[in-house]
Structure 1
Amino acid sequence: MQLSVIILNYNVRYFLEQCVLSVQKALENIDSEIIVVDNFSADDSCLMMKQRFPEVKLIENKANLGFPKGNNIGVAEAKGEYICILNPDTVVAEDTFEKIASFLAMTENVGIVGCKLIDGTGNFLPECKRGTPTPWVAFTKIFGLYKFFPKSSLFNKYYAQHLSENQTGKVDILVGAFMVMKRDLYLEVGGFDENCFMYSDDIDLSYTVLKTGKSNYYFHETSVIHYKGESTVRDGTYMKRFREAMHFFYKKHFGGSFVFDVFMRIGAFLFAILKKKQQQQIIHKPEQYLLFSSDESLGEKLEKQLQKKIIWSVDIDENALFSQENLKGCPLEIVLDNWRFSFKEIIRFLEKNKNKGFTFKIIPERADFLIGSNSSNDRGEVIKLQKSDFNNS
């Protein structure tokens, strides 16, 4: 078997459904398997998996075992030569894994491969390529120095700014939302360190792989949506665990430092203030919707349920549609029907139309909900559709 995709889920049932659907489409031409590990979700994630994806291997843990152990359990069951660690709040394009496979085939001494990640508004997520967070690199991140000196190798290492978002190359650290590597290498280095509950596990694994002499790569030729905020609430518990996780990583690999711990405490405090301010700014209440779908009746049903004006179109013709007078001057949300458009087309659309004042939702194929996120700081939104009026089939 060529590839095993491991998806660790915790209480994100609708995002998981869309993720597994996109992965299935992306694996159609690859000898592969999908393994979903559920960390004792309180929603109906497991029931959904059994009903909609009965062919997918589902592992139901009896407690929330954390990110490292949950993924290690999944990899232990994997049969593929390669594994992909994938977050449930992601959407892959139909050719994502084929492109990654081609890159692996022509690149030597590969450790881990990551790819270009975007948020639910189409904006690039810089954390998908990073440098090793030494005390100095962490300092440049905490105090934002990387923003002022993006060209300087002294200040730009945290987000691996020696590479642009559209340039493939070697990086130190990749994000756990999307990681592809040989299963034997994962097992050789011990997988994710279970002494760390979450947050520094991907940094630790990336750095451990580097120490074997392998090279980690950021691959820009495929984009994956990572809603990001959906998996974790950015509250006090998050900040405490994040600080503890970074302290764990530094102590494990660099011996610990009082100065570094002070930096982390300051950074955690500033980060908490920033995130709170950013989340307060996420206010977007669409007054009308632009629906791209081959089903005109779907627009009528959405208009009835949402009590908002729905403008319907079969084809994505931005120049013609966005120039209409009735689309100007009011908040607009664009809804993309996965029956009509592939995930690859949807991802490309988000990237092309980022920062134009629109928000985006997707109706996954054979699903009865709209799903999306208005910001990388937003937990995401799911709008359930009334089954009596809606039939996406």
Structure 2
Amino acid sequence: MPYDTQLSIVIVNYNTKHFLEQCLYSIHAATQGLETDIYVVDNCSTDGSIAYLRPLFPEVTFIENEKNVGFAKANNQAFRICRGEYVLMLNPDTVVGEESLRSLCCFMDEHPEAGALGLKMLNGNGVFLAESKRSFPTPWVSFCKLFGLSKLFPHSPRFASYSLSYLSADEQHEVDILCGAFMLMRHEALNKIGFLDEAFFMYGEDIDLSYRFIQAGYKNYYIPERMLHYKGESTQKVSYSFLRRFYGAMLIFYRKYYIQSSVWMNLAVRTAILFQALTAPLVHIFKQQTNGKKMRRVLVVGRNASFNDVRKYLATSFRRCEYINLWNLDEERIASAVCRKNQMKRFTDIVFVYPDARFEQMFLLMDLMPNKQLVYHIYHRIPHFLISPGK
């Protein structure tokens, strides 16, 4: 079947205005030289996302829903009309590298057996996100995940199969499950296996889709190409409704593929939900109290001409700020910072200035210096706004 474009990009938005703006800026840079069609499906946002973004990105097709129809159904709306040989399902709270999409389309060209591929996702602390590569959630694999055995034995193929933590994150692998935050798919294969199962309102649909690619004889690949994923900035991960939907999606998957285990899994999932519902809010409160007390020591990574404006902006945005220093890109490359890890440890926040620094340069430093106590931000010089994890 002939396609009109090389790549279709589909993003579902719900109240993520500036995260989506940043995502679209990264897509604009990453699709230079590619024939693309881009769709944003808005699930009845109340933050003015579409009115704000439509004039900034006239090349994007915006689809506005009158109610929140869920992640799967919203994606399917765009899947039915997109025209690319390859289809990228992408979260709005992501940032992709300038060269990534072109190289990934080439990979798909060279690997006709590939149904889908995913990337090496980093969070706002530079920490690798384990859901970048996963195995099938069989009853045993899910048991190890739900009851913490995978964390106790992260290097064991027997106990840590859920996130495949025994496989290097810096090497290419053939895997079972990819993350729906970034899933590049062969359009022909997607049409063959069917779109997202709309029984999954939110969470779990990527597991189901990955599973169906494998069932149809395709391969799913994990590629160690860096990207940034803020991991659900529009959701409240400590709320009971989040936990119910997240683990409820697991039950839907089991009823669909492991009906003989669904009774056992129902009990296990309910136990996990109760435990998480009791402990997660306490952990969240503790983190908030800890973070609220520390003094910020900020390093701005940008050019000298940008520093004064950025410093003024941060002085009003950051509370309890001890000092704001500059890593001057007119004089030194970002990669040079890695050679000074001991000096870098004194900072609590690193603010990249875009477009002074390229997104791929940011990912490089974040990947080489992951730290749960260090927060990476991106300041956009034009227009002026700051993206921070959890904001």
Task: Answer yes or no: same fold by TM over 0.5.
Answer: yes
2:287 corresponds to 1:276:
no
2:337 corresponds to 1:318:
yes
Q: Distance in 1 between matches of 2:38 and 2:381?
A: 18
Shift of 1:265: 1.1
In structure 2, the residue matched to 1:336 is: 352
**Secondary structure of 1:33's match?**
strand
In structure 1, the residue matched to 2:271 is: 266
Shift of 1:140: 0.6
In structure 1, the residue matched to 2:377 is: 361
Q: 2:301 aligns with which of 292, 315, 318?
A: 292
2:135 corresponds to 1:131:
yes
2:31 corresponds to 1:27:
yes
**Does the Cα contact within 8 Å between 1:172 and 1:207 map onto a contact in 2?**
yes
**Secondary structure of 2:80's match?**
helix
Q: Distance in 2 between matches of 1:207 and 1:319?
A: 39
Correspondences of 1:36-55 after superposition (within 5 Å): 36-55=40-59
Moved more, 181-190 or 2-11: 181-190
Q: Distance in 1 between matches of 2:8 and 2:155?
A: 38
| Offset from partner CA, 1:296-332 (integer Å, 9 cap, x none) | 32244235534743222322452698766xx876x63
Correspondences of 1:112-261 after superposition (within 5 Å): 112-220=116-224, 222-234=225-237, 235-256=239-260, 257-261=262-266
Shift of 1:45: 0.7
In structure 2, the residue matched to 1:99 is: 103
Q: Distance in 1 between matches of 2:9 and 2:235?
A: 21
In structure 2, the residue matched to 1:15 is: 19
Query: Identity rate of aligned residues, in percent?
Result: 36
Count of aligned positions: 371
**Does the Cα contact within 8 Å between 2:175 and 2:221 map onto a contact in 1?**
yes
Q: Distance in 2 between matches of 1:153 and 1:357?
A: 29
**Secondary structure of 2:233's match?**
coil
Distance 1:130 1:328, change over 3 A: closer
Shift of 1:161: 3.4
> Which amino acid letter does the alignment assign opposite residue 298 of structure 2?
Y
Shift of 1:162: 4.8
**Does the Cα contact within 8 Å between 2:122 and 2:228 map onto a contact in 1?**
yes
Distance 1:99 1:122, change over 3 A: same
Distance 1:290 1:72, change over 3 A: same
Q: Distance in 2 between matches of 1:304 and 1:129?
A: 39
| Offset from partner CA, 1:112-153 (integer Å, 9 cap, x none) | 111111101100000111111111111010112123333433
Q: Distance in 2 between matches of 1:9 and 1:246?
A: 23
Q: Distance in 2 between matches of 1:137 and 1:304?
A: 48
| Offset from partner CA, 1:48-80 (integer Å, 9 cap, x none) | 221211221111111101010000011112110
Distance 1:206 1:292, change over 3 A: same
**Secondary structure of 1:84's match?**
strand
**Does the Cα contact within 8 Å between 2:338 and 2:368 map onto a contact in 1?**
no
Distance 1:243 1:356, change over 3 A: closer
2:312 corresponds to 1:301:
yes
> Which amino acid letter does the alignment assign opposite residue 337 of structure 2?
E
**Secondary structure of 1:362's match?**
strand
Shift of 1:274: 4.6
Q: Distance in 1 between matches of 2:18 and 2:118?
A: 24
In structure 2, the residue matched to 1:385 is: none
> Which amino acid letter does the alignment assign opposite residue 353 of structure 2?
D
More helix by share: 2
Q: Distance in 2 between matches of 1:73 and 1:349?
A: 37
Q: Distance in 2 between matches of 1:101 and 1:354?
A: 28
**Does the Cα contact within 8 Å between 1:299 and 1:311 map onto a contact in 2?**
no
Correspondences of 1:344-355 after superposition (within 5 Å): 344-355=360-371
**Does the Cα contact within 8 Å between 2:124 and 2:388 map onto a contact in 1?**
yes
**Does the Cα contact within 8 Å between 2:125 and 2:372 map onto a contact in 1?**
no
Distance 1:104 1:312, change over 3 A: same
**Secondary structure of 1:2's match?**
strand
Q: Distance in 2 between matches of 1:255 and 1:249?
A: 9
**Does the Cα contact within 8 Å between 1:299 and 1:310 map onto a contact in 2?**
no
Please, which runs of 5 or more residues in structure 2 have no aligned partner? none
Moved more, 304-313 or 18-27: 304-313
**Secondary structure of 1:232's match?**
coil
Moved more, 147-156 or 160-169: 147-156
In structure 2, the residue matched to 1:391 is: none
Distance 1:249 1:357, change over 3 A: closer
Q: Distance in 1 between matches of 2:369 and 2:247?
A: 35
